Structure 1
Amino acid sequence: MSGSVYGNIFTISTWGESHGKGIGVGIDGCPAGLKIDESYIQTFLNRRKPGASKYSTPRKEDDLVEILSGVFDGKTTGTPISLIVYNKSQRSNDYSEIASCYRPGHADYTFDQKYGFRDYRGGGRSSGRETIGRVAAGAIANAILAELGITFTCYTKSIGPICIDYDKFDKETILNNPLYMPDSEAAQRAEEFLQQQMEQMDSVGGIIECKISGVPVGLGEPVFDKLDANLAKAVFSIGGVKGFELGSGFEASKMFGSENNDSFYADDSGKIHKKTNHAGGVLGGISDGDDIIFRVAFKPTPSIFKTQDTINNNNENIKVNIKGRHDPIIVPRAVVVVEAMAAISLVDLLFINMTSSMNKIRDFYL
């Protein structure tokens, strides 16, 4: 299986299965001298670990990270970093009944057709548990960006039909409710809505919004490696993602050019700004110095407890009842995953940008 490596200079390679011995990631291209330890990485993993609320899978995992290489005396050495989280609460027997059939909404059918074989225990590589490696690597990328004053505000914008009110936006509320919403009233309504769907043995989708502040002008290439294109690829690689939009996104299709264009102006010090940010911080695939703002749509969790129609691997029509421990919604736990993939993409583009002009090369070497 190819396709488990992401990045050009700052690269990550995730490995492991949901019900294997562990999940991990290898990181190459991280500069030496970055302060990092397991406790820092753990704060990110704690935001995605299962069993943290009644709205996540009841699978109990501590998801404790262990650094195997690339860090000495609390600092990166410049050599490849290897991180591992051991699986400790597998219940593979929960999946024995679906070994010969295809769960609706899952990758069972496509894996069988592509490889002629699949790990049916929790989805194997297509399990959401694979994102542990992404989040661990994202923590390191986030630490690099923090050194440059680049910060993230990532949160749940909506769950089902329940959307936040920007007039009630409170950043401090994000980590104080299990749905990671910055509007406490919307969070309460969303919890009630979600509880109703859980009682109906159904699941719910939603939208995550991410704002990145402090990004310098110039990140991204003008053709295939556009900043927004790289962000879209990184985010679309997360299981369950069905949509991505930047700035005004799909709403731009309803606007006139005179409305959608962001006018420039210079302040008293001569610094350039935009009056609006419909572009979402990216012009021509290159960061413009404004906040990067994008949104990600997640489908409802496909593992639901209602009886569903499907087929088995003999092409016979059957009914299936999915067992196991599953999230009624993946959006809250995916907030940190979206942040992680965005951070990894930005670090890679930052490193590429260091060689974008002779002036930058001269500044470094002369």
Structure 2
Amino acid sequence: MRRDRYRWLKKNFISPSTDFSRQDVTNGVQSLCGPLEYFHKFVTEDMIKAVADNTNQYSVQKKGSSIHTNTKEIEQMIGMYLKMGLVQMPGIRMYWEADTRYSPISDVMSRNRVQSLLASLHFVNNLTMAEKEQNADKLWKLRPWLHAFREKCLKVVPKEHNSVDEMMIPFRGKFSSIKQYMRGQPNPWGFKYKLPLKSCRWYLYIFWHTIILAVINAWLLYKRDCNALHIPKQQVLNRRLFEAQLASSLLLIGTGVSVPKRGRPSSSPVSLRGSTLTSHNRLFTDEGSPAAKMPKKSNAHPPKEVRKDMIGHFPIKADRVRCINCAKGYTNMLCKKCNVRLCFSEQNNCFWDYHN
């Protein structure tokens, strides 16, 4: 094994230039963007489209037929991944099982479809990479994605004072050349970027790691703009709420209301199937016991991008409550996609005003 040799010399230390250009980090921001727009500063639609194209191409090479995925479906898979991080379960199958079904995930895509996408998820055409190039770059399976992601990160104007540290990507695979253990760390087992890798699906861990980095960076940009606009601290979204709105936007924008499948209904007496946005906030009681007192309903608005996408906003009849838009009249009209009550009459059409 070849080892690099170094020769140390005694000489005066010359510090590097640390002059700060003092660029305007906010770029004269006038208004806040939605969580999805901040996320797209790091993960663009072109990057996701390239993933969808390479995934279709790899499925043809592997199975002889295309998996027929598209940009929207890859976005939904990313949104499901973020939702699973917010509402964690011991096993991924539990999100689709009858007793533990979680509608914001299970109603978007079937379990078999998710597993098929993960099995074919690819970022480069394997046939275009020569063996010499594969041996020279151990990250060749993810190199186009990493290159595009790095370019987007470099476009962000940095602050003057920054802290730099290393981070482990959690992984406990059996790799003799990269397995590391760092005592005292939250994730002691893992591998670092730019290490020799040998595995079939190791790159998926790095891919999901970049998604989390994009979410965190998007939230930091959002907080920077909030400070520039002097928005009160009480109105600034924390990271959990920011990620929840981002996940809802990725799942719902450009999609219609899910239609129940044909066939025999589930034999389970418990059903968690409900509205896409707020079904996990509802109360469930046994049939024989009296219903608990309902808490005060929160006026939770869907993300602005979902509200104004003009797709799948169907009015349905529901309980008569106060309108969320005008807050004066009562209505029994519910938007199925946004899960909010809106006036829908000749005198007052809040349904139109709210979505436009």
**Normalization by structure 2: what TM-score?**
0.29
Structure index of larger Rg? 2
Q: Which has the higher strand share?
A: 1
